[in-house]
Amino acid sequence: MSARAWTAFAAVATLWGIPYLFIKVAVDDGVPPVFLAWARVLMAAVVLLVLSHRAGVLKQALDPSLRRWFLLYAVVEICGPFPLIAAGERHVDSSLAAILIAAVPMLVALLAIRFDPTERATGRRAVGLAIGFAGVIALVGLDVSGSSDALIGALCILGAAVGYAAGPMIISLRLKGIDPRALMAVALSMAAVLLTPAALLAPPSHTPSTDALASIVILGLFCTAAAFVLFGQLIGEVGPGRATVITYISPIVAVALGVAALGERPGTGAVAGLLLILAGSWLSTDGRLPPGLDRVLNRLRGTVKPVIPDRQTDLADAEPPRRSTHPMKPLRPLLATVLIPAALFLAACGDSDDDTNTAASTQAAASTTAAADTSCDKANLSLINSGTLTIGTDKPAYPPYFEDDDPTNGKGFESAVAYAIAQQLGFDKSEVKWTVVPFNSSYAPGKKKFDFDVNQISITPARQKRVDFSDPYYTAPQAVVALNKADASKAASLADLKSAKLGVQIGTTSLDAVTATIQPSTQPKVFNDSNDTVRALKNGAVDAIVVDLPTAFYLTAAELDNAKIVGQFKAPGGDQWGALLEKDSKLTSCVSGAIKKLSESGELKKIEDQWMGTAAGAPELS
């Protein structure tokens, strides 16, 4: 590879290691995956259209005979992968997403069997790709397989990898020779048009935070517009197979950013997978280093003269190197004997490490329990402000969780719970201070300006990697919502709903709750999303809908006129809310202890009945 190719390689590897961080920031802020993809694509398309027009290179890319190939490229390289990666990162860390994308070179080799014989992997390159693929297997097998949500996320990202593998081959076979600026301007424009309907149907439910907006801008201008142009140049220099080896390097950038900025902690599978992928990357590119570093090593070993031309001789013009003077061959076995066994050792020891960590955690928990009598005394608590318990929540604060948009009055479910926890910790009302914390900022990694936060925050594995949660203080039951004029609105028990036509949203726990608890005489109707479910209720397609109770409160307050909560009922699988604390907070066990005492004394149930039960318009159905 030439110096120019290595420069493009380094730039693209960096620019495509960055996106996973910013995608994670945006989707965690609530930006829908399709909308995020559309926003970055539209921004990049506008920039590249202007640049390619001013450079006078756009006309070639507008050839009608190339239109179908541009369309195919836009679909497989942009419209598919961009939303799939964003959807996947809802369930897996940004660093794991980047490592999974490292499957692209292996997929290129597989596709080449059918579409491009010149890119088929043979010899050392085939071995390297196989080793890299083993790394992907190690990652999925050890770090992902234990969670169904994580598996779905991983499959989404691997689906994106298939598109990323096919895209460069389309360029090489059908769009070769077109200026990269014009090529990407047209492809991104087509992708923006194709994504627009889906983006309009799924806009953000709230104004994105400053961090999310900045992430979208960076994704559009740098990680899409600039990176795609450089990637096009790289394909022209080295071909699609070697160009996609950047997916071996970009995970290093992504993992470093995920650890430093998001507090992610890659597991054994990720470390083993990354080592194997790096080994495969090295071997699949014939063990070459960038020209500058290559020359330094050669000088140190005395194999070349001190004066070397600035640009390497093209591979086609060079004489075959003698075996004794090939600069990198001695390093290949070194790589194989160090990185590969290290990765296999980590993979083999994964379970025992986990057991050790579990045992250590159990021992630590036992020690914490033993010391709880003194460490949770008011005088010994580790607080943001000494002598004051600082509690966070969002603003505005809605009923029935807070009343009159005033958390300090003790009215509303979560306000009452917060003051009850404070009392258990030894604080009276005058010693409690409330601070405003936007919902999406509460579970972002880093230092917190509160001791704990209450804001209907569901306990999820992804959030638990960044923050601490107390034991749950609430498990959401299911609720039945009907229009006031419907017969279902008069139901006083679950038996009264057996003959009703019920609607539920797919992918929620409500379907299982309906079939297991209500057991209606006809199968409930299943809808794709909340909008379809609510629309069916309004149009009379169903007599009532079943959602979790917090959603029922929202729907009857904000989206449905002349509707009511018929009642609530207990069902397994409901979301659990916990008090949120800074990661590894010394206060976590004390807050959990306070909640446990409130539960055992029946105080927590009294608060729930007062603010989330009949008095709040949600009687219990039995």
For the chain, what percent of residues have pLDDT higher than 70? Answer: 75
Q: In 10 A of CB 464, how many CB atoms?
A: 14
Q: Phi first, then psi: what are they for 122, rounded to 5°?
A: -135, 160
Note whether 414 and 454 are within 8 A (CB): yes
Categorise residue 131: left if φ over 0, alpha if ψ from -120 to 50, beta otherwise. alpha
**What value does the CA radius of gyration of the chain take, rounded to a whole number of Å?**
29
The Cα 52–Cα 50 span in angstroms is 6
Note whether 5 and 242 are within 8 A (CB): no
Q: In 10 A of CB 498, how many CB atoms?
A: 14
The Cα 583–Cα 370 span in angstroms is 21
Q: What is the pLDDT of residue 589?
A: 94
Structure tokens at 617: 């318009």
Task: From residue 202, give the alpha-carbon distance in Å to each of 33, 78, 155.
Answer: 9, 18, 22
Note whether 94 and 21 are within 8 A (CB): yes
Note whether 554 and 617 are within 8 A (CB): no
The Cα 399–Cα 480 span in angstroms is 19
pLDDT at 194 > cutoff 70: yes
Bridge partners for 467 per DSSP? 582
Residues whose CB falls within 8 Å of the CB of residue 257, separated by 6 or more in sequence, listed in order: 17, 18, 20, 21, 94, 95
Residues whose CB falls within 8 Å of the CB of residue 2, separated by 6 or more in sequence, listed in order: 237, 291, 311, 312, 314
List pLDDT tens digits, range 109-143: 777 767 766 655 666 667 766 776 777 666 666 55
**pLDDT band for position 319 (cuts 50, 70, 90):** very low
Q: Phi first, then psi: what are they for 121, rounded to 5°?
A: -85, 125
Structure tokens at 363: 């021992």
Q: In 10 A of CB 301, how many CB atoms?
A: 11
Sheet holding 432-436, edge to edge: 432-436, 389-393, 452-453, 576-582, 467-475
Q: Phi first, then psi: what are they for 578, rounded to 5°?
A: -135, 160
The Cα 342–Cα 227 span in angstroms is 33
Bridge partners for 567 per DSSP? 480
Question: Position of tokens 């992918």?
Answer: 507
The Cα 227–Cα 229 span in angstroms is 6
End-to-end Cα spacing for the chain: 72
DSSP output for 533-559: HHHHHHHTSSSEEEEEHHHHHHIIIII
Structure tokens at 201: 């149907």
Q: Is the pTM of this model over 0.75?
A: no
Q: What is the pLDDT of residue 132?
A: 67
List pLDDT tens digits, range 150-186: 788 888 998 998 998 898 888 888 888 888 889 989 9
pLDDT at 9 > cutoff 90: no
Q: What is the pLDDT of residue 299?
A: 52
List pLDDT tens digits, range 483-520: 999 999 999 999 999 999 999 988 778 888 898 899 99
Mean pLDDT of 332-358: 42
**pLDDT band for position 417 (cuts 50, 70, 90):** very high
Question: Position of tokens 């008069």?
Answer: 490
